[in-house]
Amino acid sequence: MLHFRKVLGIIFCVSSLVSSCSKENSNIISEENSSEILSKELMASATIKEKLAYKQFHLTNLMEKVLEVNPNFNQLEELKSSKEDQPRFYIESLLKVSGLDSKSDDDTAASLGAFNDLEGGTWYPVLRIIEDKGAPVDGIYLVNSYDESSEKEISRAYKLNSGELELFADEFTDEMYDSLYASGKASPSLMTLELALCPIGGENIEKIAVSCDGDGSGGGGTGGGGAPTTYKLKTINIKDKKESKWERADIHHTKVFWNFVQPNVFYDNKNYNPSGFEIRKVRNSELNENLSVDEVLASRSASGVLQHVIFEHDNWPAVIQSSVIPGPNGSTFKITWRSWNRDYNHQLLNVNENQPGVPNITNFSKSNNVISYEIR
């Protein structure tokens, strides 16, 4: 039985965007309507606010279960021994190694399956540890959200109270983070509840740590040390991270190669995954630095036009955005990506072609107010 009072509080808070939220507003929405908002089948036609409420409910529901069955989960050996910066762990695996059979718990099973085959994709609930300061039951848990009125990403902050994660800050700000963690004083652990793209890997309960994202890298070699066989995105310089200071920006790209370009034709990349490929994660300390990425874009033996977009990726329910790029001889190219933000740059490039008005990929470089990058 889903926690109706918790559903109510999340929906009310997402809708009102107030600084403190109450779960006692029983006149806002009926129990029948709350069940509809939590229906995966209705998510395709749901509003952004309803999708955010759906995500926040199921992620906090799963974390409450982890804290119930293993309040000291941070003492698990794989968590203690992790050398990753801001390591991520599958919540399903945390539950399994803590001895919970999710199939015997309807609430947990429903929340674990809430993001499977959802609007054409599958997402995996994960816990990211930002600051490991001690007892998880005393920690702060953040869930990424979006304020439609200001058109910006925000993080909602939750704390455990009587077995439930309750919202205590509608927007956890950089200033709040600094007041808790920048001074070096005793502070609670800080964690985020989020969705990842990479799968859990069957029934292997030993696989707790998340070690991938997206559909993998497009990277590759140079042909055994001889002449380069590919064109690569060699360096990027991110000038605007588009995330809070404690978060790392997930820089992704989508690439589409067209072998033939005909006049006055509309080219659409609708069959490509809008999440694209991960290039790298960028921290605050890496802003305005030239970062090596070595990401393959095209073969040097190919001939055609490369369509390319670089963006800061956000998982569901971030919207799928698009841009239309004018091409040669009246052709146009549409490219899509999943993010709360506009892209860093989208580009057409000639690859061993001479399409008019399209720059050549060889030694191409780009610089604007949010990114610089080089292709070699």
Look at residue 208 and tell me if it is in a domain. Answer: no
Same domain, 22 and 131: yes
Same domain, 183 and 257: no
Q: Among the listed ranges 55-64, 73-82, 206-215, 286-295, which one has the minimum average pLDDT value?
A: 206-215
Decide if pLDDT at 1 tops 70: no
Same domain, 45 and 119: yes
pLDDT at 71: 87
pLDDT in tens, 112-164: 999 998 988 889 999 999 888 888 999 999 999 999 999 889 999 999 999 99
Same domain, 177 and 250: no
Look at residue 218 and tell me if it is in a domain. Answer: no
Same domain, 177 and 272: no
Same domain, 248 and 351: yes
Same domain, 173 and 278: no
pLDDT at 309: 94
What's the pLDDT band for 296 if we cut at 50, 70, 90? very high
- Predicted model pTM: 0.83
pLDDT at 260: 87
pLDDT in tens, 16-43: 443 344 333 333 333 444 555 567 888 9
Look at residue 222 and tell me if it is in a domain. Answer: no
Average pLDDT over all residues of the chain: 82
Look at residue 30 and tell me if it is in a domain. Answer: yes
Same domain, 359 and 264: yes
Same domain, 235 and 188: no
Same domain, 245 and 192: no
- Residue 81 φ/ψ, nearest 5 degrees: -90, -5
The boundaries of the domain holding residue 302 are 230-375
CA within 13 Å, CB half, 94: 29
- HEC sequence for the chain: CCCHHHHHHHHHHHHHCCCCCCCCCCCCCCHHHHHHHCCHHHHHHCCHHHHHHHHHHHHHHHHHHHHHHCCCHHHCHHHHCCCCCCCEEEHHHHHHHCCCCHHHCHHHHHHHCCCCCECCECCEEEEEEEECCCCHHHCEEEEEEEECCCCEEEEEEEEEECCEEEEEECCCCHHHHHHHHHCCCCCCCEEEEEEECCCCCCCCCCCCECCCCCCCCCCCCCCCCCCCCEEEEEEEEECCCCCCCCCCEEEEEEEEEECCCCCCCEEECCCCCCCCEEEEEECHHHCCCCEEEEEEEEECCCCEEEEEEEEECCCCCCCEEEEEEECHHHCEEEEEEECCCCCCEEEEEEECCCCCCCCECCCCEEECCCEEEEEC
What's the pLDDT band for 226 if we cut at 50, 70, 90? low
Same domain, 10 and 100: yes
Look at residue 29 and tell me if it is in a domain. Answer: yes
Look at residue 209 and tell me if it is in a domain. Answer: no
* Structure tokens, 301: 């033996």
Same domain, 181 and 299: no
What is the total count of domains within the chain?
2
